[in-house]
Structure formats: structure tokens, C-alpha cells
């Protein structure tokens, strides 16, 4: 089983025809339990899946399909089950069932046949883990308009949560409340409360359509290590995706509805892109971060999680395009391959040890304060525990030591829950009666006396809800002592006031207006809805009202897990004072820092002005020097030019003199040559004459 590769399991569920649709014929036929056909005038499509459920299929058949994965979750394998399809095709019915399906097992021997996957899976998990040392942590997330909200702690969607990733926890939501649920009733209460806070809207196809993606998470952790010294942990996700929807041109849709529709289609489109990229098997980038939904389900879609897709479709011919689109998505999802491996962590893991030490220190602190009530002793105990933790960090841990820490942690938590706690600010103190109270409960309110008016100004007839209280079993009986003062400490008004919550359960007929008011355990102001209309509302025998229960809760943060087990008023007051002092000191420090900053800025500005002045003076001096140099250079150049001109003129005169001298010399030379020629010619004629005279006497006459 470990490190096996398998394809994503896909099942298709066909919604039955409604009364308004029975005039039309179904376009879907199911030849076998693994095949589905769509046949009409334009389409003939045949597809095969792991399982196809016809319109007559029951909720138990759907559960039987996913139950093997639930059994593997108890062995340390992650599992994700999500419903996908067009709005109004039965996704929420498949996951949660009808309203009465979450009835408490104390009042019903078993869940109703219409119970959805989530309540049936919860009951199966607890029944299968009775002989195992396991702890279940439950949380409920809502993705509304691409923002994450805690359905159990933030019904008004006031705080947006962030997605984080760590080596120890993988992908998780920082600040999300995780309640310790020790029974199916605890889980049903959480599911009930979360569904009351979901964002819903009436649409063209559904009068109560979910406008957000919701994920009910169960973290399963073993309390003891196995023979190899490993502790198993698994994460189980139940995802009810919001349905895709087209823009209705005929009816004008309000702006909020259009925004919801756009964000839902955008996130589903991102999911489709991720499924397509995973189905192709290519090594290209997988766009998990395109949507909060795909980012949160990254572990479920990518690796190390057994994932089951339940695609819901409608057989009505008007919605054939949406049905084909859903089946195409299922075909792509069928191609996705995932590697499954068991999630085990070494019992000697440092991060796990530090987490357990932190929880034990916190629980011991609360128990010490409850038993003895001394703040000085509390501080001394904290100091001793700090020293003890410091010593434990410096020694090696064995598997037995870690198991001891986990067992001690759980015992302290249960002991703290069974002791009972103070109320927030009303001065009421609640004690246990002789009747046995469930382990997972810590009484916070009393049973309203029969026939008494809820919200009366008398303390004995008034009950205030605690922010972390949830309805328990009807067998839990708790008495209210006489410490009540009869007025609210927050606003000094007689009850009822805005800080008190009326009973969410049945009251006498004379007070029907009050009967309809129900307060979420996490709301500060009541929200009115009938007891029968609440999702999975509880009904009690003989008209008795079940009392709220206290459930342990933790919050996953970036670097640690913060436990919240019901800190008392005294400790809260001290912590609040310290927090106020820290805030005041922080504000003073900020003011001092601001003044110092302004002084530094002023000094910097003065220094900058001085530097600018010096720089300007230096620039002026530099310019003057440069101008002077330029003038000197110009004068030097002028001198050179003048010198050059003089030299040139002198050279020209010299050249002229040379030319004259050469001309004279040439004339003298010509004159000398002419004279020499004349002289030679005279000599020549002289010799000639002499010769003629010598030769004859007539030569001279002829010559003359």
C-alpha cells in the first residue's frame, strides 16, 4: 500500500428528476454501474468511471464507495473527498444530507438514511477507532469571493485567513481553529454550527444554493508510537464546492450575486486547469497558486493523498451543456495519478517534542491557577517549567519519553475540561452535578428552569453563551450557583442585553418570538432563525434544553501550534493588562522613535544644506579658476598666433630676399655668360682675321 501510485477515483451521481422536470425525458442512461450515456438530438456521449450512481441510488451506496479510503485514513493516509458539479445537482445533499440527518446519536440509535457522506464518515471513523489511541481535530473553512474564513470562529467573515506551508504540517491555514472532538456528537455540533454560518443565496436552480466552497477538515493523530518509533498522522478533507452557474440575462442579478458567480467560476476554472495539467502528465508548471481553492487542495491534487471526486449531474435536457462540461472535468480528473504513502513522523522529531512541551506547560499553568489561584505561584511555576523545558532540550529523547508527553498532555487537557471554569465577565460560576458529564465537555451554562422566561433579569433565569461553548448531549446537567449579580458587567444593564444570548432551543408557547432566536456560540449578537430551520438542528425528549459544552481548540500558526483550553478571567485579565502595558510601551517607543527620527531628519536636512552650500561655494571657486585658466589659455594662444604671424612674415621676407638674390645671381650669371660668349666670339673673329690675313690680303677688305 505504501508508496503506491493510483489514479484519482471518480464517481458520477445523477440527480433524480424534480416535480417541475417530470414533464421532460431524461437525457442520461446508465448501461452499467461504471458507464454513463448522454443521448439527445445533438449528442451521443459514452464515458466510463470507477462508479456511476443512478437517480435511485442511496446515500449508503455513496458511503460504501468511499469507506475504504476512510479506513486507510485511520492508518495514516491522507484522504480528500470533494463534490463537483453544476449548482442544484445535489452536491451539498451528497456531502451533508438533509437537515435532520445530523441528529445526535443520543436521541437516535443511528443516523437517518438521508445522512450525507460527512456525518456517516464521522460516525464510521469514531466507531472504527474505539480501540485505537487517536485524537481528532476538526475545523471548518469557507472560501468566499477568494477569501478564507473560519466558519466556527468567524461567522460574520470579519477576519481573512492566510494559507501557509511548512515541512511539519504541509499546506495549512494560519490561525484556523481546530477543535478537539472526542465523540461523534462533538463533530455533529461543529458541522451544525459551520453550516449555519455558510454563505448561501437563492438562485434560479436552487432556493438554498451555497455561494462558497467549504472544506470540513479532520486531522487524525495517534497518541502512541508504533514499534518503529513512528507516530501516524493523517488529514481528511470533505470539500463541498460551490456550483458553476451562468449569468442570467433574463433576470437582473444583483451586484453581490454577480461577484459571487464570477469568483466561483474563476476558482472552478483554475481547478480545471490544474486537473488538466496533472492529467497530461507533463512536467510543466502546475498553476496551484491561481486560486485559493487549488492552493489549499495542493496536497490533495498533487501527491500523497487518496482523492475521490464525486461529480453530480442533472438529467434535464435544458442543462445538457453543463452536464457534458462536468463529465469532461471528470474524464480529465480520471487521468491524474497520485503517489500514496503513509504519513508518519519520528517520535523524536524536535518540532513535535517542542510542541508537546509547549502544550503541557500551558495546561499545567491553567490547572495550577484553578487549584490554588495564586499569581505569584503561577509565575514561579512558569519559571520552573521553563527551566525544565530548557533542560529537556539539552538531552536526547526516546520514543517512550514522547509517548509519556502525549499521554500527559491529553490527561491534563481532559482534567482541565472536567474541572469547570469561570465565565467571561458576568461573575457566574458553574459546577458539575453528580451526573456524569462527557469527557469532551466543560460546563459553561445552566439548564433554563422549566417555564421560566429566557432573558429574564433574574440571574437564576438567565444564561449567557460563552464564545467557545457548543451544545452537548441532553444528559449533561449543570447547576448555576448564586454568584450571579443580575446585571451585565460590560454595559451595566439588566439582562437581557446585547452581551447575553437567548436559548436556541424550545421554550413554552407563550414565548414564540424568543423561541425563534438562536445564537451561534461564536456570535456576539443573536441571529434569528427557527429551531427547525437550522441545518441539522437537535431535538430533545420532553422539551429539555441541551446545555452548551466546552471544547478544546488549537490554532495552527506559522511556527507553532497555539492551544486555547479556556483561560480563566483572572489569567485573561493579567494577560490583557500586560498586553495593554505592552501596547502603551510600544506606542511610547513609537513616539520616541518618531521624535528621534524627526531629530535625525532635521540634522540630516541641516547637514544637507551645509553640504549644498559648501558644494555651491566649491563649484563657484572651481568655475572662477576654470575661467581664469581659459583666459590664460586664450592669451597664450593669442601670443602663439601673433608669434606665428611674425615668424611667417619674416619667413616671407626672407624668401623674397632669397628670390631677389637668386635673380641677381641669375642676371650676373647671364651677363658673365654673355660676356664670355662675346669674348669667345671676339677671339674667334680675331683668330679668323688673323688667319685670313695670313692666307690672303683681301680678307680684311671683305670683312670690312
pLDDT digits (tens, 9 = 90+) for 308-365: 999 999 998 888 888 999 999 999 888 888 888 888 877 665 555 666 656 666 666 6
As to burial, measured by CB atoms within 10 angstroms (0-12 exposed, 13-18 middle, 19+ buried), residue 185 is buried
Contacts of 490 (CB under 8 A, 6+ apart): 425, 497, 499
* pLDDT at residue 121 greater than cutoff 80: yes
Is 348 labeled as ligand-binding?
Answer: no
Give the span between the Cα atoms of 511 and 519, in whole angstroms.
Answer: 16
What integer pLDDT is reported at residue 17 of this predicted model?
Answer: 84
pLDDT: which is higher, 690 or 426: 690
Residue pointed to by grid coordinates 475521490: 308
7-16, 104-113, 341-350, 357-366 — most confident range: 7-16
CB distance 208 to 53 below 8 Å:
no
Give the span between the Cα atoms of 421 and 10, in whole angstroms.
Answer: 48
Is 88 labeled as ligand-binding?
Answer: yes
Give the span between the Cα atoms of 74 and 131, in whole angstroms.
Answer: 12
* pLDDT at residue 59 greater than cutoff 70: yes
pTM as predicted: 0.55
Radius of gyration of the chain (CA): 49
* pLDDT at residue 462 greater than cutoff 60: no
Is 85 labeled as ligand-binding?
Answer: yes
What integer pLDDT is reported at residue 232 of this predicted model?
Answer: 85
11-15, 232-236, 434-438 — most confident range: 11-15
pLDDT digits (tens, 9 = 90+) for 195-239: 887 776 655 555 566 778 999 999 898 887 777 778 888 889 999
DSSP conformation letters of 233-282: EEEEEEEEPPPB----SSSPPPHHHHHHHHHHHHHHHHHHHHHHHHHHT-
Query: What's the average model confidence in pLDDT over 110-139?
Result: 85
72-76, 364-368, 453-457, 539-543 — most confident range: 72-76
* pLDDT at residue 678 greater than cutoff 60: yes
Architecture of domain 4-344: 3-Layer(aba) Sandwich (3.40)
Is 175 labeled as ligand-binding?
Answer: no
- All three cell numbers of 454, joined, read 429566557
* Range in 280-294, 314-328, 671-685 with the lowest mean pLDDT: 280-294
What integer pLDDT is reported at residue 388 of this predicted model?
Answer: 60
Give the span between the Cα atoms of 32 and 45, in whole angstroms.
Answer: 15
Q: Across-strand partners of 494?
A: 487
CB distance 146 to 291 below 8 Å:
yes
Q: If we measure between CA atoms, which residue out of 432, 423, 610, 562 comes closest to residue 499?
A: 423
Confidence tier at 83 by pLDDT (50, 70, 90): very high
Is 425 labeled as ligand-binding?
Answer: no
φ and ψ at 202, to 5 degrees? -80, 130
Maximal CA-CA distance, the chain: 199
Q: Which helix (H) or strand (E) holds 592?
A: helix 569-695
pLDDT: which is higher, 25 or 569: 25
* pLDDT at residue 487 greater than cutoff 60: no
Long-range pairs for 53-56 at CB < 8 Å and ≥24 separation?
53/11, 53/12, 53/13, 53/14, 54/14, 54/30, 55/14, 55/15, 55/16, 55/17, 55/26, 55/315, 56/16
Q: Across-strand partners of 79?
A: 236, 306
* pLDDT at residue 107 greater than cutoff 50: no
CB distance 103 to 531 below 8 Å:
no
Give the span between the Cα atoms of 278 and 283, in whole angstroms.
Answer: 9
pLDDT digits (tens, 9 = 90+) for 504-525: 333 333 333 323 333 333 333 3
* pLDDT at residue 64 greater than cutoff 70: yes
Is 92 labeled as ligand-binding?
Answer: yes
* pLDDT at residue 392 greater than cutoff 60: no
Give the span between the Cα atoms of 413 and 398, in whole angstroms.
Answer: 23
pLDDT: which is higher, 13 or 582: 13
CB distance 47 to 28 below 8 Å:
no
Pairing of strands 28-29, 430-432: unpaired
CB distance 468 to 553 below 8 Å:
yes
Query: What's the average model confidence in pLDDT over 119-123?
Result: 91
pLDDT digits (tens, 9 = 90+) for 154-172: 777 778 888 988 776 778 8
Q: Across-strand partners of 150?
A: 141
State what percent of residues in the chain have pLDDT above 70. 60
Q: Which residues in 116-130 are b (16+ Cβ under 10 Å) and which e?
A: bbbbbbbbbbbeeee
DSSP strands (E only) in 63-211: 79-85, 134-144, 147-150, 162-166, 170-174, 177-180, 200-201, 209-210
Query: What's the average model confidence in pLDDT over 73-93?
Result: 89
Arithmetic mean of pLDDT over the chain: 71
Confidence tier at 650 by pLDDT (50, 70, 90): very high
CB distance 54 to 14 below 8 Å:
yes
Q: If we measure between CA atoms, which residue out of 120, 105, 107 comes closest to residue 539?
A: 107
Q: If we measure between CA atoms, which residue out of 282, 219, 266, 316 comes closest to residue 18?
A: 316
* pLDDT at residue 372 greater than cutoff 90: no
Give the span between the Cα atoms of 354 and 410, in whole angstroms.
Answer: 16
- All three cell numbers of 429, joined, read 460560576
Confidence tier at 385 by pLDDT (50, 70, 90): low
* pLDDT at residue 35 greater than cutoff 90: yes
> What secondary structure letter does DSSP report for 494?
B
pLDDT digits (tens, 9 = 90+) for 405-423: 667 666 666 665 555 433 3
CA pseudo-torsion sign 679, 680, 682, 683: positive
* Range in 37-41, 98-102, 674-678 with the lowest mean pLDDT: 98-102
The helix/strand/coil state of 475 is coil
What integer pLDDT is reported at residue 557 of this predicted model?
Answer: 56
Confidence tier at 283 by pLDDT (50, 70, 90): low
pLDDT: which is higher, 112 or 424: 112
Is 91 labeled as ligand-binding?
Answer: yes
| Domain range list for the chain | 4-344, 350-567, 570-671
245-249, 436-440, 441-445, 692-696 — most confident range: 692-696
Preceding amide of 121 cis, omega within 30: no
The helix/strand/coil state of 162 is strand
Give the span between the Cα atoms of 29 and 41, in whole angstroms.
Answer: 14
* Range in 92-101, 272-281, 316-325, 391-400 with the lowest mean pLDDT: 391-400
CB distance 217 to 296 below 8 Å:
no
Amino acid at each position: 500500500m505504501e508508496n503506491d501510485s493510483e489514479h484519482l477515483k471518480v464517481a458520477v451521481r445523477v440527480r433524480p428528476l424534480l416535480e417541475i422536470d417530470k414533464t421532460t425525458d431524461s437525457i442520461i442512461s446508465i448501461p452499467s454501474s461504471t458507464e454513463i450515456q448522454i443521448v439527445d438530438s445533438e449528442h451521443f456521449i459514452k464515458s466510463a468511471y470507477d462508479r456511476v450512481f443512478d437517480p435511485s441510488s442511496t446515500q449508503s451506496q455513496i458511503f460504501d464507495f468511499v469507506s475504504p479510503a476512510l479506513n486507510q485514513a485511520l492508518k495514516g493516509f491522507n484522504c480528500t473527498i470533494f463534490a463537483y458539479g453544476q449548482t442544484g445537482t445535489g452536491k451539498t445533499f451528497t456531502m451533508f444530507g438533509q437537515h435532520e440527518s445530523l441528529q445526535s446519536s443520543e436521541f437516535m440509535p443511528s443516523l437517518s438514511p438521508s445522512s450525507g457522506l460527512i456525518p456517516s464518515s464521522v460516525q464510521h471513523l469514531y466507531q472504527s477507532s474505539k480501540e485505537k489511541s487517536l485524537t481528532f481535530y476538526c475545523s471548518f473553512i469557507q472560501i468566499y469571493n477568494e477569501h478564507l474564513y473560519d466558519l466556527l470562529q468567524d461567522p460574520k467573515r470579519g477576519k481573512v485567513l492566510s494559507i501557509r506551508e511548512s515541512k511539519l504540517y504541509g499546506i495549512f491555514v494560519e490561525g484556523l481553529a481546530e477543535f478537539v472532538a472526542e465523540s461523534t456528537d462533538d463533530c455533529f455540533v461543529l458541522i451544525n454550527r459551520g453550516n449555519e454560518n455558510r454563505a448561501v443565496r437563492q438562485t434560479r436552480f436552487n432556493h438554498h444554493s451555497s455561494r462558497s466552497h467549504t472544506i470540513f477538515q479532520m486531522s487524525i493523530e495517534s497518541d502512541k508510537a508504533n514499534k518503529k518509533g513512528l507516530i501516524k498522522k493523517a488529514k481528511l478533507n470533505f470539500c463541498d464546492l460551490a456550483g458553476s452557474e451562468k449569468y442570467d440575462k433574463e433576470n437582473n442579478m444583483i451586484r453581490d450575486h454577480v461577484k459571487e458567480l464570477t469568483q466561483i467560476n474563476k476558482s472552478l476554472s483554475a481547478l480545471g486547469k490544474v486537473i488538466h495539467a496533472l492529467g497530461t502528465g507533463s512536467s510543466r508548471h502546475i498553476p496551484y497558486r491561481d486560486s485559493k481553492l487549488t492552493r489549499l487542495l495542493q496536497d490533495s491534487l498533487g501527491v500523497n493523498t487518496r482523492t475521490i471526486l464525486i461529480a453530480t449531474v442533472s438529467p434535464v435536457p435544458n442543462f445538457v451543456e453543463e452536464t457534458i462540461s462536468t463529465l469532461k472535468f471528470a474524464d480529465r480528473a480520471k487521468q491524474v495519478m497520485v503517489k500514496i504513502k503513509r504519513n508518519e513522523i519520528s517520535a523524536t522529531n524536535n518540532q513535535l517534542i517542542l510542541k508537546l512541551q509547549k502544550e503541557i506547560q500551558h495546561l499545567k499553568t491553567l490547572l495550577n491557577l484553578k487549584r490554588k489561584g495564586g499569581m505569584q505561584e503561577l509565575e514561579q511555576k512558569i519559571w520552573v517549567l521553563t527551566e525544565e523545558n530548557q533542560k529537556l532540550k539539552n538531552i536526547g529523547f526516546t520514543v517512550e519519553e514522547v509517548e509519556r508527553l502525549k499521554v500527559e498532555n491529553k490527561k491534563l487537557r481532559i482534567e482541565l475540561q472536567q474541572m469547570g471554569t469561570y465565565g467571561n465577565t458576568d461573575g457566574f460560576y458553574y459546577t458539575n452535578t453528580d451526573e456524569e458529564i462527557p469527557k469532551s465537555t466543560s460546563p459553561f451554562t445552566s439548564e433554563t428552569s422549566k417555564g421560566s422566561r429566557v432573558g429574564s433579569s433574574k440571574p437564576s433565569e438567565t444564561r449567557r453563551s460563552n464564545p467557545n461553548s457548543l451544545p452537548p448531549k441532553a444528559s449533561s446537567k449543570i447547576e448555576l450557583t448564586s454568584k450571579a449579580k443580575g446585571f451585565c458587567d460590560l454595559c451595566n444593564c439588566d439582562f437581557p442585553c446585547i452581551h447575553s444570548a437567548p436559548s436556541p432551543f424550545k421554550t413554552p408557547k407563550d414565548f414564540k418570538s424568543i423561541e425563534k432566536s438562536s445564537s451561534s456560540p461564536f456570535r456576539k449578537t443573536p441571529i434569528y432563525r427557527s429551531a427547525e430551520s437550522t441545518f441539522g438542528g437537535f431535538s430533545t425528549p420532553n422539551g429539555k434544553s441541551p446545555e452548551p459544552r466546552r471544547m478544546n481548540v488549537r490554532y495552527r500558526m506559522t511556527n507553532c501550534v497555539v492551544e486555547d483550553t479556556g483561560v480563566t478571567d483572572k489569567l485573561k485579565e493579567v494577560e490583557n493588562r500586560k498586553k495593554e502595558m505592552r501596547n502603551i510601551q510600544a506606542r511610547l517607543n513609537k513616539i520616541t522613535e518618531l521624535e528621534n527620527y524627526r531629530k535625525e531628519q532635521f540634522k540630516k536636512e541641516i547637514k544637507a544644506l551645509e553640504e549644498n552650500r559648501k558644494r555651491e561655494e566649491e563649484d563657484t571657486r572651481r568655475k572662477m579658476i576654470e575661467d581664469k585658466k581659459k583666459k590664460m589659455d586664450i592669451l597664450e594662444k593669442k601670443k602663439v598666433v601673433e608669434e606665428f604671424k611674425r615668424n611667417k612674415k619674416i619667413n616671407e621676407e626672407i624668401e623674397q630676399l632669397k628670390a631677389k638674390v637668386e635673380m641677381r645671381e641669375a642676371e650676373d650669371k647671364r651677363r658673365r655668360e654673355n660676356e664670355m660668349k662675346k669674348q669667345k666670339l671676339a677671339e674667334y673673329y680675331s683668330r679668323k682675321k688673323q688667319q685670313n690675313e695670313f692666307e690672303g690680303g683681301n680678307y680684311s677688305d671683305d670683312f670690312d
